[in-house]
Amino acid sequence: MDLAAVRNRLTHQPPTVLELDLGQGVLTGPATGPREALRALHTPRLQAIRDGLHKAATDEQVAGLVVHVGDAPLGAADLDEIAGLITAFGEKKPTIAWSETYGELTSGLMAYRLASHCQQVWIQPSGMISAQGVALTATLLRGTLDKVGLTPEFGQRHEYKSAADQYMASEVTPAHREMLQRIADSLLEETVARVATARGLTTEVVQDAVDRSPLNAQQALESGLVDRIGYRDEVYSWLRENWGRVMEPRPWQKQPEDDGPQVHLQYVHRYAKGLPSVLTGRGRPSIAVVNVTGGIVGGTGRRSPLSGPTAGSDTVSAQLRAVAREDSTKAVVLRVDSPGGSYVASDTIRREVIRLKEDGIAVVASMGAVAASGGYFVSMAADEIITTPSTLTGSIGVLAGKLVTSGLTNKLGLVRETMAAGENATMFSDLTPFTERHWEILNGWLDEVYADFTAKAAADRGLDLAKLEPLARGRVWTGADAVRHQLADQLGGIDLALDRACALAGLERDEVSVRPAASGGWLARFRPAESSESHRTESRLDLPSGAEGLWHRLMEASGLAPAGVLALPWRFTIG
């Protein structure tokens, strides 16, 4: 019996039932400013949920877990991550999911998918399961660009690098349609299979329920998708009756108003807050977590009010070098949630990953919602790649080009004129189209980058180039398909990545401390780095300067300016 259980028995406390309210949202990364820091006071962090459930699984005082799914304002990959944590906890303790509804004539497919990982699923009598399937929409901008006077000029490698199609194509190409259809099919197939396994149903029964959705509460019960119909008070009455115990008051204690079974309710992240900090394990071997979040750029990165934070190669590389110098570091988890960006910056980070491995430090890449193009580039050299089934990854390809804006500026009455010195000085000017010589230079570079990307990916993944190249060509895969095609190793979240990092380092999970490479939160940005070898957490606040700066920031924020040649500029919500 651990100390917590002894303490609770001595104080005559009822069993603890942990609560996880996904309606509050979940923070998955470090705070990047005061706004995020304030939000963190009231919103659970994924790390706290992970630490809390990991410890609670062996805590005798903890009776079980109740999950309020609600509208679950999280991405599909984050929901998969939490579902894995719930499943692992459920191997030791009972779990219940409840929600007023799983979608209300809006997609609730991913929310229900998470709920199905609990041993019991409840729904309110007036609720429904709105799990009609997966629909992805391709939006092409060419017609609008023509109307406003913007002329796109892009090259791509190859046909599946449909980010260029977003600007160039007037209709959805066969390759673009094939790729999106496969992503949708993969997401639905994985959902049906997971729900069938979790609920003890056949895939045919689950697929039929999807095809008949939306289902009202009674239909969901009859289909085997839920176990009980009830309101919140009925859920909690049930768990008190089944998980609680009648408390006999001590002579000096007041008789409780409710003399029935009682439980002590506590949020998972509040329970985790009372655990010994993983950062205090001095002398213990450690696993460092290094984040690559946002578009990948050179330098220290930037925080733009319009386009959000970016992952600067200087910052990420310095963190990787710093953890390598610490004797306690036995492995690194590279947490990637990035659509990519700069080829050079991505290659810089990949080089530091390779150097870690050369120093005998295991590296496991953990993919978040998206780890595509440059996000895949920085991951592929890791010893192992862990991805969620719904992660968007791959996109081993390249695009480059520009939007010629002279037509738009003329329509707006803006006067923009460039004075240039040098034969190719205006090659990437948005005022002039590419010349024949410019296209020759651009296409030569695209071929060079694509050849380098595919060759390095094949070497990193231990595949023949002839086998990898057809899987490349700019094609985006779900994490589930990436594992099938050997572009990634296992399906899971950061918890599995930590387990694998420990295994590669020859350590038990309970023997190590897990720590972020950049500690100190957003306030650490105000402390200057001692040298280029220091932990770097700073990123510059990128405010536009002058009329030209404002013009380019507006183009970037509107999605009309790719973030780099290894970029996936389009994102979509999976429902």
Are 17 and 65 contacting, i.e. CB atoms less than 8 angstroms apart?
A: yes
Side by side, the strands of the sheet bearing 62-68 are 228-229, 120-123, 95-99, 62-68, 16-21, 264-267
Q: Which two tokens stand for residue 371?
A: 């780890």
What pLDDT is attached to residue 521?
52
* Chain-centre distance for alpha carbon 141: 27
List, for the chain, all residue ranges whose pLDDT scores fall below the cut of 50.
1-10, 278-280, 520, 539-541, 544-545, 547-548, 569-570, 572-575
Q: Which two tokens stand for residue 456?
A: 């390095």
Helix (H) or strand (E) holding 287: strand 286-293
Q: Which CATH architecture is the domain 3-132+213-273 placed in? A: Alpha-Beta Complex (3.90)
Give dist(CA 486, CA 466) in Å, integer. 14
The gap between the terminal CA atoms of the chain, to the nearest Å, is: 43
Residue 459 amino acid letter? A
**What per-residue string of b and e applies to 124-141 under the rule 16 or more CB within 10 Å gives b?**
beebbbbbbbbeeebebb
Q: Using the structure block, give the residue that is written with the tokens 């919140």.
A: 232
Are 373 and 397 contacting, i.e. CB atoms less than 8 angstroms apart?
A: yes
**What per-residue string of b and e applies to 345-379 under the rule 16 or more CB within 10 Å gives b?**
bbbbbbebbebbeeeebbbbbbbbbbbbbbbbbbb
Instruction: Write the burial class of residue 28 (CB in 10 Å: 0-12 exposed, 13-18 middle, 19+ buried).
Output: buried
Q: What tens digit of pLDDT does each residue of 423-466 get?
A: 777 788 878 888 888 888 888 988 899 999 999 999 999 999 99
For residue 204, give the 3-state DSSP assignment.
helix
Give dist(CA 312, CA 303) in Å, integer. 10
The DSSP 8-state label assigned to residue 103 in this structure reads -
For residue 445, give the 3-state DSSP assignment.
helix
What pLDDT is attached to residue 306?
52
**Residue-by-residue DSSP string for 377-405:** HTTTTSSEEEE-TT-EEE---EEEEEEE-
The half-sphere exposure of 502 on its side-chain side, counting CA atoms within 13 A, is 17
What pLDDT is attached to residue 301?
74
Neighbours of 492 (CB within 10 A): 23
Q: What tens digit of pLDDT does each residue of 405-414 get?
A: 788 777 777 7
CATH fold group of domain 282-567: 2-enoyl-CoA Hydratase; Chain A, domain 1 (3.90.226)
Phi/psi for 217 (5° steps) reads -60, -45
Q: Which two tokens stand for residue 485?
A: 């095609």
Do 3-132+213-273 and 282-567 share a fold? yes
What pLDDT is attached to residue 113?
94
Q: What is the CA radius of gyration of the chain?
A: 26
What pLDDT is attached to residue 10?
46
Are 429 and 408 contacting, i.e. CB atoms less than 8 angstroms apart?
A: no
Q: Which two tokens stand for residue 352?
A: 């530091």
Residue closest to 150 by CA, chosen among 166, 137, 139, 138 = 166
What pLDDT is attached to residue 168?
80
Are 164 and 399 contacting, i.e. CB atoms less than 8 angstroms apart?
A: yes
Residue 146 amino acid letter? D
List Cβ neighbours of 172 (8 Å cut-off, separation of 6 or more).
Answer: 138, 140, 165
Where exactly are the structural domains of the chain?
3-132+213-273, 282-567
Residue closest to 72 by CA, chosen among 132, 134, 130, 138 = 130
